[in-house]
Structure 1
Amino acid sequence: MRLDDLDPSKNVRDQGRGGGRSFGGGSGGGGLGLLLSFLPMLLGRKLGCGTILLIGGAALAFMYFSGGGMQLADGTGAGGFQSQGSGANVACDTQEERFACQVLASTEQTWAKLFQQQGERYRPATLTFYDQSGQSGCGAAQSAMGPFYCPADQGVYLDTSFFNEMSTRLGAKGDFAQAYVIAHEIGHHIQNLTGRADQVRNAQRTASKAEGNALQVKMELEADCYAGVWAAQNADRMEPGDVEEGLNAAHAIGDDTLMRGAGQRPVESMFTHGSSEQRMAWLRKGLQTGDPAACDTFARGAV
């Protein structure tokens, strides 16, 4: 994807290794809690969208077949990230970070235009880089969680080593695969701005685990579609092979594919992000339509 001519977004932070300060605790949006160790992360229902990707073998199976599953957290954590720490860390200063900052800038331009068409103003998210561990308005950030969105401070959190994990462990290679991941998290930001996240959060409070999981699947698929909408709106920047890279990444992180990779039989009631087929289909729908209105996974019979 050609983004070299874009100036990196200014809505970025870099906490560095274990950097940043967190004011207040609270639950994570797009789903994580304050994680004190690997085991609570696997057992909890609040995981970041990229988390499953980095959990291998037995750990992955344990997550799916123990008390796992995901729900959207309430995002009411007090305060949020307010500091870059010592100030020694400079965002967008590596090749991986610069590309992520340019993707963010592109999403800001795209969604500002789409919101303006509806007579609304787009409020951009903040992208925060960290190394191994950091802090968000939703609690701790750890590289094993993968990229995630925190509604409490409207921030996307990313350890760019995740991109290497995608390429080496899952075979999800290419710059557009990386861009898709960031655009997906911005999709959760759109859901937060439009009130979709609140609606789902409220419904999940009284839902069974299976019902809550089904709602979360719709959330994730809608975010996939929004990622496709962003790409379609920037079709002039797309290069040969980009669509295939994105669809390959979507397939690699489908719940059924991950379950099979963990040696387990896929169980649909335990899906939290959607099957590979579903994720590819909704990303493709966004790519083909370029229309956010086409992304309503909550419409009757949509999923």
Structure 2
Amino acid sequence: MALTVSELLSLLRVREERRHVFAGWSPVDGVRRIYGGQLLAQSIMAMGQTVREPHRLHSMQGYFVHPGDVAKKIRFDVHPVREGRNFSTRHVFVTQDGQAVFIGGASFQTPEGDHERLPPMPVVPPPEQMQAEADFFAREAHLLERRRSHVSLIMQLFERRSEMWRPWLDPGVRPPVNGLWCRLREPCGDDPLLCHAVLAYASDLDLMTTAMRPRGYGQMDRRARSASLDHAMWFHAPVRPDRWFYYDMTGACAMNNRGLGAGALYQDGRLVGTAMQEGLMRVGEDESLA
């Protein structure tokens, strides 16, 4: 199934069924498990709809508790934890058929102060000088049909360019570093909450695989099974994900089959967001990742 940007944005705008209870759905694209970035983005949209207008999202974090099923309705129960003059805090409990899928929280703040210090982005070539994702993986495109992956969904929705692509099979041992230019293929408007939700959506795919690069297994390798465990983000400045932004990633450490990835997101030469994620990767094992 092909998914357009407008369809994605519609899915991210979860619907309030009753006070602080929201409903959402997933695209059905051949992958049974819900993409983690979708849960992050929809949770942001659910929590943000319960916060009064002056307050803007500045951080969120959460845990992926159980693999979600794309064929089932998703329920988001939002709980107001704090409703202050300057800050609002929300907790979200995400379930399917009564089973926990994701739990998380977010903090919102009224803009204040005039001091600003945002680190500049690394010196990298512009996107026009980097190789397009589809071009690099043209010889391995058949793998997307043999082993369904959320990679195909991201490729439909985002244009991405990088100097650090690696093959989906047998990439060899690489250092835990990665970087890519990214933008939505269609306009998304200027709603700050939705823009940050889309940024969270895009941030999920590559952090753990970056941290696991020194292990030498590719994203489509059937010997390796992976899952995101948690995710945290800080939103420093406004962003427009339908314009080019650069995602600079490193893998700080790996232990007990877990890898920790950290990413910095830049637009217009300045830092707009920070993301961290820990994920699980097991090799040559058939049992559940749970």
TM tier relative to shorter chain: under 0.3
> Which has the higher relative contact order, 1 or 2, with Cα contacts under 8 A spaced 6 or more apart?
1
Task: State the structure with more CA Rg.
Answer: 2
Q: Judging by fraction of residues, say which structure has more strand.
A: 2
Q: TM-score normalised to the size of structure 1?
A: 0.26
Q: TM-score normalised to the size of structure 2?
A: 0.27
